[in-house]
Structure 1
Amino acid sequence: MKAATSRGGFIHLVSLLFFAIIFFPEWADYFELWDTSIVYAHGFLVFAAILFLLIQNRDEIIALPLNPSLIALLGLFALCAIMLVAKAADIKTIRLLAVPFIIACWGWAIWGFDYLRKAGVPVLLLVFAAPIWDDMSPLFQAITVFFNRFLLEIVNIPAEIQEFYITIPGGTFFVAGGCSGVRYLMVALFLAPFYGYLYYKNFSRSLILTLIAGFLSMFANWIRVFGIIVAGHVTDMESSLIEDHELFGWITFIILCLVPLFFIARALEPKAALDSSLNGIPRSGKVSRTNNVGMTFPALATAFVLAVPVIFYSQTVLFEAENPDWTPAVPVSNEQWRGPLRFAEVWQPSFVNADVSEDLMFVSEDLQRVQFSLVGYRSQAQNKELVYYRNRLFDDGWQQLSSNRRALEPTNVFNVDEVTETMLLNESTGRTVLVWSWYEVGDFASPSRLQIKLVGGLLALTGDSKGAFLALAGQCDGLTLDSCGEQREAFEAFISAVERS
């Protein structure tokens, strides 16, 4: 028995080291996120709580018998495939979010459902520190504005509301992303299941506590924003809370969320340990099938996880095709369009570390002008990517007036059926420019950054990571989209008439 326990402890210790090494880039991104982002600073607390629960359950985890699950193994295969594409496409959110699910599914595939109960649930708490929550900020900003409208009406403070702007007689407040309350929501949603895992013996109590925690955190944020607006109204915008309300926010969160949540959590605690389930998840009724499957499932599950970095690095790093002479095809002149004229830019995109950059001007027979711009990457790597947060359609000298998608006839030389149409204003000269833009990887063209990321990731797994940003630009006659009609017609004529070489 002692030998089996010792062997089990060694296996789980090795598994910890295995996942630490296999997902080292993801762990590094997690720690960087928690260290640099005020919204995710609680991530260190979440990580410590996960380690605490795993250490607390270590004896029961070590004693788990093999109880393989085919469903979990298939789920693990799907998760590893998603992780592989996300790594190739460098979709950070999906990469980081997949880590806890892969770990939980790996253990489930080997030790059965009891592994989820003892180790999977603690590991999945990492979701509350993963970079998915700030994407929800616009939704919670809108909810905060919605409820503050009613609160201001109750206290008879006149307010005019436009999107996230709340204007009162004394001034205007902008409910920014930091005012959405997402960080308070994450903390509350983490604490509730953590408490439930420690003290409750059925899932329903933990779920009820989590729902209450979510509501109380949002309510606390509504009152926080309302208090700041009232302070601005009463002091004629002189209150220090208007500029510095970090401490006020946490005090409000503690008083209106954490304190009542503590008493509610105590009230929900079971009076007697009569439930047959532990930690909110029922026991698996399956019998161990160790003798039937041997080490097949553990080997397959581990191989699936190991294949992710092996395939990724072999295809995208070791065997990536070199394209030292590759340049995206550019339009060539014909009887209808003459050019290209170089160094005659109407506008220029702002991309970093590109291998190829061209701005070419074409002029039609009736003197319509179209600028063709391209930015190409022969290979992509860290900080040298086609879709990258530092790559922008325009630099600080321009202001965006509008942006939307525009459908095109697919029968054009660029093989694109939709573009992003953007109208820009040059802040120094006052002139306006219309831009049609899209991306190109392989034979696929799209204005969607997500689609390009996904398709580019799949192509990168074949050793081909090259790609390009393409755009047409021309001047408008005024400040509205209606003034760009002639330029839009010129774009349509250009893409239907030219050829590429």
Structure 2
Amino acid sequence: MLLLTVVALLLPFVAYFATARSIVEIWDSSGTFTHGYVILPISLWLVWQRRDAIAQLPAAPYWPALLALAACGAAWLLAEFGDVQIVRHYAFVAMLPLVVLALLGKRIAWALAFPLAFLLFAVPFGDVFINPLIGVTADFTVWALRATGIPVLRDGTNFSIPSGNWSVVEACSGVRYLIASVTLGCLYAYLTFRSTWRRALFILASVLVPILANGLRAYMIVMLGHLSGMTVAVGVDHLIYGWLFFGLVMFLLFWLGSLWREDAPADEQSAPARAAAVAAASAGSAPSSRFAAAVLAIAACVGVWPAYAAWLAQREGAAAPAELASFQGAWPQAAPFARWSPSYPAASAELQQYFAQADGRHPGHPVGLHLRYYRKQDHNTKLISSVNRMAGEKDANWHSVASGLRDENVGGRTITVRESTLAGAGGRLLVWNWYWVDGRYTANDYLGKVLQVKQKVLTGSDDGAAVMVFSPFEDKPEPARAAMREFLAANLARVDATLDANKRK
């Protein structure tokens, strides 16, 4: 049975090798998720700790688990169509506990519930929290500085104090502290406590404490720089101070947790009684033929989805190259007014043009149009991604000040746009952006992914485009909005036609 269990657990790794490899690549390339390397060894160690208890439980295939296994495969397939990497990763990792449940049964799977669930921490997840955490850290730091009596001039996540300028960037978000704290907190709670409420309270503390601690860390870093005349904690040393502070906080958290530890009751079962229980479990287990049949069923549930995806990929024929140069604006073109380009991956076709209204009704507010058309997307070149931004973190010319959704009425047609305010040395820029997927406009990332999946299933195409309209402004954005609104009223139908001309029928 051990051999069959190993074979069954290897099946997802073989069938979804590319997905497993992409997880490891993220562990290797991002310091935020390096902890992923130790998750599987820790899970195996936790299973080993339970070996005596498992040996006393009868094993038998649990056939309903095959439905859940098939559901994970279907979720992986839909995520493959929409190129939603996080869903692919979770679907793949979730198959491992389900394989144990399907092959060995409910009693053994329940006995290994935490070691199996702990595998989910191997998925590199957490980037979605970066921007909210940046905002929380900036809010706390500015509040603490003002409470200390230091005047602060804030512009989004950038702020100035009398001694210098500071910016809360991705490295300051504390997402690494949060992920490390939650992972360690769950493991510590499982090993240290027995009651559910104590485990839940400690896990909650492992979520809240690093967020608060990161705000304190950021405040102390700024104060060190301020009090030292900007000679201390203004370079890489402030990252070192941050990890030292985080280590101290985690030590205190675990020390406090140890005061309420609940030791497991001693195993008073005698060796003969344990041997009898193991023999009874072996006698009560299903015959080998049922386990072999379960492995075959698991192989079918696991393997059909990547096989279908590969078959569809082979069916997809070659398409003509995408082109946007045929776009002709209804307004006269103007000289470039901003050295700006979004932080997006290279597209199959790109267009950036500048326009000014012929009658001069919006002087000082020319409008720019930026189009990016994506075809045959992959992880490195995709339309909708959490790393696609209006201004990249390393952009020397622009940084994002604010962003939000708004509805705009354009020629009697309502479209939802994401409005971003960018600030730079040359002034401010107002940007509206949205997606064109399956012939529809949306500014919602999730709806955009759903439309991608629908289009892929029905047509086999993954085509999509990013539409961006932008205009400069000084104090108030409303004049720029008015100019962009009129530009779209005159040109949106032309944008539609240009994008539709590339759509594969």
Instruction: State if a TM-score over 0.5 links the two structures.
Output: yes
Matches for 1:188-267 after TM superposition, within 5 Å? 188-198=181-191, 200-240=193-233, 243-262=236-255, 264-265=257-258, 267=260
The SS at the match of 1:239 is: coil
The SS at the match of 1:18 is: helix
**Aligned counterparts of 1:355 and 1:394: Cα–Cα separation in 2:** 21
1:312 aligns with 2:309: yes
Residue by residue over 1:356-396, the C-alpha shift from the partner in whole angstroms, topping out at 9 and shown as x without a partner, is 34567899996899876543344334534334678666896
**Aligned counterparts of 1:440 and 1:110: Cα–Cα separation in 2:** 45
Match of 2:124 among 123, 131, 135: 131
**Aligned counterparts of 1:167 and 1:158: Cα–Cα separation in 2:** 10
Matches for 1:8-47 after TM superposition, within 5 Å? 8-47=1-40
Partner of 2:490: 493
**Aligned counterparts of 1:174 and 1:365: Cα–Cα separation in 2:** 40
Q: How far did 1:169 drift?
A: 4.7
Match of 1:122 among 115, 119, 133: 115
Change in CA separation of 1:207 and 1:64 when aligned onto 2, cut-off 3 Å: farther
Residue type at the aligned position of 1:105: L
Q: Mean alpha-carbon deviation: is it higher for 221-230 or for 26-35?
A: 221-230
CA RMSD of aligned residues (A): 4.6
Matches for 1:454-493 after TM superposition, within 5 Å? 454-462=450-458, 464-469=460-465, 471=467, 473=469, 480-484=476-480, 485-493=482-490
Q: Mean alpha-carbon deviation: is it higher for 110-119 or for 9-18?
A: 110-119
Matches for 1:72-471 after TM superposition, within 5 Å? 72-144=65-137, 156-158=148-150, 160=152, 162=154, 164=157, 169-198=162-191, 200-240=193-233, 243-262=236-255, 264-265=257-258, 267-270=260-263, 272-273=265-266, 294=290, 299-315=296-312, 317-324=313-320, 337=330, 353-358=346-351, 374-387=371-384, 399=398, 404-408=404-408, 417-421=415-419, 436-462=432-458, 464-469=460-465, 471=467
Change in CA separation of 1:481 and 1:459 when aligned onto 2, cut-off 3 Å: same
**Aligned counterparts of 2:143 and 2:358: Cα–Cα separation in 1:** 61
Residue type at the aligned position of 1:88: F
Number of equivalences: 471
Change in CA separation of 1:48 and 1:319 when aligned onto 2, cut-off 3 Å: same
**Aligned counterparts of 1:446 and 1:51: Cα–Cα separation in 2:** 44
The SS at the match of 2:373 is: strand
The SS at the match of 1:44 is: helix
The SS at the match of 1:376 is: strand
Q: 1:476 touches 1:483 (CA, 8 Å); kept in 2?
A: no
Q: How far did 1:65 drift?
A: 0.9
Residue type at the aligned position of 2:8: S
Match of 1:68 among 62, 71, 89: 62
Change in CA separation of 1:114 and 1:237 when aligned onto 2, cut-off 3 Å: farther
Residue type at the aligned position of 1:252: F
Q: How far did 1:226 drift?
A: 4.1
Q: Which runs of 5+ in 1 are unaligned?
A: 1-7, 276-287
The SS at the match of 2:465 is: strand
Q: Mean alpha-carbon deviation: is it higher for 472-481 or for 102-111?
A: 472-481
Q: How far did 1:261 drift?
A: 0.9
Residue type at the aligned position of 2:232: S
Q: How far did 1:309 drift?
A: 1.6
Where relative contact order (Cα < 8 A, 6+ residues apart) is larger, the structure is 2
**Aligned counterparts of 1:498 and 1:181: Cα–Cα separation in 2:** 41
Equivalent pairs: percent with the same residue? 23
The SS at the match of 2:245 is: helix
Q: 2:407 touches 2:415 (CA, 8 Å); kept in 1?
A: yes
Change in CA separation of 1:250 and 1:313 when aligned onto 2, cut-off 3 Å: same
Residue by residue over 1:238-261, the C-alpha shift from the partner in whole angstroms, topping out at 9 and shown as x without a partner, is 324765133333333333322451
Q: 2:72 touches 2:92 (CA, 8 Å); kept in 1?
A: no
Q: How far did 1:227 drift?
A: 3.4
Q: Which runs of 5+ in 2 are unaligned?
A: 269-283
**Aligned counterparts of 1:170 and 1:476: Cα–Cα separation in 2:** 31
Change in CA separation of 1:402 and 1:210 when aligned onto 2, cut-off 3 Å: closer
**Aligned counterparts of 2:490 and 2:204: Cα–Cα separation in 1:** 56
The SS at the match of 2:308 is: helix
Q: 1:128 touches 1:189 (CA, 8 Å); kept in 2?
A: no
